Chain A
Amino acid sequence: MAQEITLGQLRRWLILYADRIIAEEEQLTRLDAAIGDADHGVNMRRGLEKVRERLLDEETQYADVGAFFRSIAMTLISAVGGAAGPLYGTFFLRAATSPHNGERVDLPQFTRMLRFGLDGLQQRGKAHINDKTMVDTIQPAVEAMEAALASGQSLAVALAAAKQAARLGMEHTIEIRANKGRASYLGDRSIGHQDPGATSAYFLFETAVVALSTPVPKE
C-alpha cells in the first residue's frame, strides 16, 4: 500500500470534508446555539460550499501540494466569516509552508504539515489544550500521528490513530469549561456542551482516513 498521499487524495479529502460539514450544518448550529452565537454551522457550510465548488471544477489546477493548501486557505478566509475563517485559514496556510514532494507528501511530511498548521492555529487563536476549542481535537490528533510515525506505523494506521485521538479530544470538550471565544462568558455553564469548533475539526480527521489511505481510482 502506498505510503504517500497524492494531490488527488488531498482533493478527495477536502471534498469529503465539505460534504460532511454541509450535512452536519444543523448539528454544528445546535452545538453553537448552546454556548456561542449559533453561526458556526452556517459559516462553515458557506465556506466549505465554496471550497467544494472550486475542487469540483475540472479546470482548477494546483501546481503542488503547497498551492493546494494555500487555495483552500484563501477560500476559507474569504467565505467563512466568523472566527473559524481566520482559524481554519491559518491552519491550511501554515500547512502549505511545510516541505512536500511537489504533487505528493509522504507520512513524515504530512505529519509535519499538520504540526505546522496546529502551531499557526494556536498562534492565531491563542488557545491551548483544554480551552474548549478546536485545538482540543487537532492537538491530540497531530500528537497521535507523530507517535505513530515515531513507532514506524503505516499511513493507514497513523490516520486511524489520529481519528481516534481527535474523537476523544472532541468528546472531552463536553466535560470542560470554555476559556476562549464567546462561550467563555458562560463560565461553568459551558460545561456539559460539546464545542462546535472541536466538532467541525473532528470531521477533518474522520474524513482523512478514507480519503487519504485508499487510492483514487482514476489517478
Chain B
Amino acid sequence: MIGLVLVSHSRLIADGLCQLADQMAGGGVKIAPAGGLTDDPYTLGTDAALILEAIESVWSEDGVLLLVDMGSAVMSAEMALEFLPDEQRNRCLISNAPLVEGAIVAALHAGMGNRLHDVNAAAEDALNARKVERVPENVKDKTCG
C-alpha cells in the first residue's frame, strides 16, 4: 500500500485532515501529517525536516504521495524529497490535487491498494468533483417567477 503525507502550513489542518481521510477510507491507510514547524507546531509554516520524517514514517517500496496546501509547502516538500536517496525519491510524488478533497480521495484509493500514479490521478481529479448542482440564474427566474 502506498503512503500518504499531508503537508499544510497549519498543524491543525494536517492533523485533522489525517483523521478525516483515514476515517473516510475506513481506517488502516498509511497516512502521516506534516503541518506547522517542528519546534513551533502552532506557528503557520512548513518544515522540510518534518515532511521528511513523515515520508519515512509511511515509507514502503510502493511509494509515497505528498499532498500540499500552497506556496512554501511545495518548496519544503521538494526539499524533503532531495534529502532522500535516489531510489526512494523516485518513488515519491508531489500531487497537484487540492489538499482536503485530494487527501480523502487518495486515502480511499490507497486503501484499495492502487498504485502511486493511479492514486494521484484520482486525487487530482477531485478538483472536478461538484458539491452542489447550481441552477443557472435565468432558469431559476423562470421557475420562481
Q: Which residues of A contact B (CB under 8 A)?
A: 39, 43, 46, 50, 74, 77-83, 85-87, 89-90, 124-125, 181-182
Contacts and interface: CB of A to CB of B under 8 A. Distances in A.
Given A77-B49, A78-B47, A86-B48, A124 B75 contact: yes
Interface majority SS (helix, strand, loop, mixed), chain B: loop
Contacts, number: 62
B40 A77 contact: no
B76 interface: yes
B72 A89 contact: no
B38 A78 contact: yes
Contacts of B50: 78
B72 A82 contact: yes
Nearest to A125: B75
A81 B79 contact: no
A170 B75 CA distance: 23
B24 interface: no
B38 A182 contact: no
Given A77-B48, A77-B49, A82-B45, 4 more contacts: A77-B79, A81-B37, A81-B72, A86-B72
Interface residues of B, number: 19
Contacts of A74: 49
Contact of A46 (B9, B43, B46): B43
A81 B75 contact: no
B62 interface: no
B27 interface: no
A85 B49 contact: no
Interface string B20-59: 0000000000000000011110011111111000000000
B16 interface: no
B125 interface: no
A85 B78 CA distance: 12
